[in-house]
Amino acid sequence: MPKRIVLKDISTLPVEKITEEEANKETKTLIDKLNKIQNKLYAQRKYGVLIVLQGMDAAGKDSAVKHVFSGVDPTGCNVKAFKVPTIQEAAHHFLWRINSACPEKGMTQIFNRSHYEDILVPFVNKSIPDKLIKERCKEINMFERGLQKDNTIILKFYLHVSHKEQLKRVEERKTDEHKRWKYQKADVIAVRKHDEYAKAYNFVFEHCNKDVQWQIVPADRKWYKDFYILRAIVKELEKYDIHYPRTEL
């Protein structure tokens, strides 16, 4: 059984002795490795890769997408940001919009937020019964298990940012002209509910952490967060027989 995850017991700072300079140097090597793997993945068309990025507001999901996948060929990579369901989406089963966005063979699909929003938001807002929330967890587990059986490699990352750092970043969105476009009043409300969302995530980790285990990424230092995610992805993909298709000339 996976070790129980409790966010308050996990540091949001780097958990190993490595400097920013050292991490940045290794990150360049890892970016090159991921690019080569992705080229083979795209050519082979045997596996799909699904990267799930979750985290509280201002945890650094957008910057992770930008930096971790900076060397990947856009031809073989897609990014989907799941926001509040549209009227059409809300009229369907909660996994309807997720299913259509899953990667085809050879593709890497990044979920910036994901199906877990349909657990987290109702949990915090108490908008649906607890029994239904638990049923959704069971459905998600079955859904992910089905993807794995169909040769989809899934990696789930929770970007673990402290409340102090979260407040700092939201304030920066109000004053930095390059980040101001991201600022929304909803961010302030979400930040105020930091503890409630921490409880919601602990619930998710308890009920959806068996077949595809969560990786908790210390995210208070952006350079370490990106390095950590990139290293984990490369390490996981190197376990698979991903190669260029063998053809006769």
Tokens coding 124: 């915090």
Closest C-alpha among 231, 145, 160, 144 to residue 5? 160
The average confidence (pLDDT) of the chain is 94
User: Per-residue pLDDT tens for 81-116?
Assistant: 999 999 999 999 999 999 999 999 999 999 999 999
Beta-sheet pairing, 152-160 with 214-218: parallel
Whether pLDDT at 1 is above 80: no
Instruction: Please give the order of strands across the beta sheet that includes 214-218.
Output: 77-81, 108-112, 48-55, 152-160, 214-218
Distances (CA, A) of 154 to 12, 34, 48, 213: 23, 15, 9, 9
What architecture (CATH level 2) is domain 7-15+30-237?
3-Layer(aba) Sandwich (3.40)
Q: Which residues of 46-56 are buried (b: 16+ CB within 10 A; e: fewer)?
A: ebbbbbbbbbb
Contacts of 21 (CB under 8 A, 6+ apart): none
Tokens coding 182: 């991201």
Side-chain-side CA neighbours of residue 164 (13 Å): 5
- Predicted local distance difference test score (pLDDT) of residue 118: 97
Contacts of 207 (CB under 8 A, 6+ apart): 134, 137, 138, 141
- Predicted local distance difference test score (pLDDT) of residue 172: 85
Q: How many helices (H) and strands (E) does the chain have?
A: 10, 5
User: Per-residue pLDDT tens for 160-202?
Assistant: 999 999 999 988 887 766 666 666 666 666 778 999 999 999 9
Alpha-carbon Rg of the chain, whole angstroms? 18
Strand residues in 14-143 grouped as ranges (E): 48-55, 77-81, 108-112
Give, rounded to a whole angstrom, the gap between the first and last alpha carbons of the chain.
49
Distances (CA, A) of 66 to 53, 55, 174: 12, 16, 21
- Predicted local distance difference test score (pLDDT) of residue 180: 61
CB 164 within 8 A of CB 87: no
Backbone angles phi, psi at 153, to 5 degrees: -90, 120
Q: What percent of the chain has pLDDT over 70?
A: 94
Tokens coding 87: 């009227």
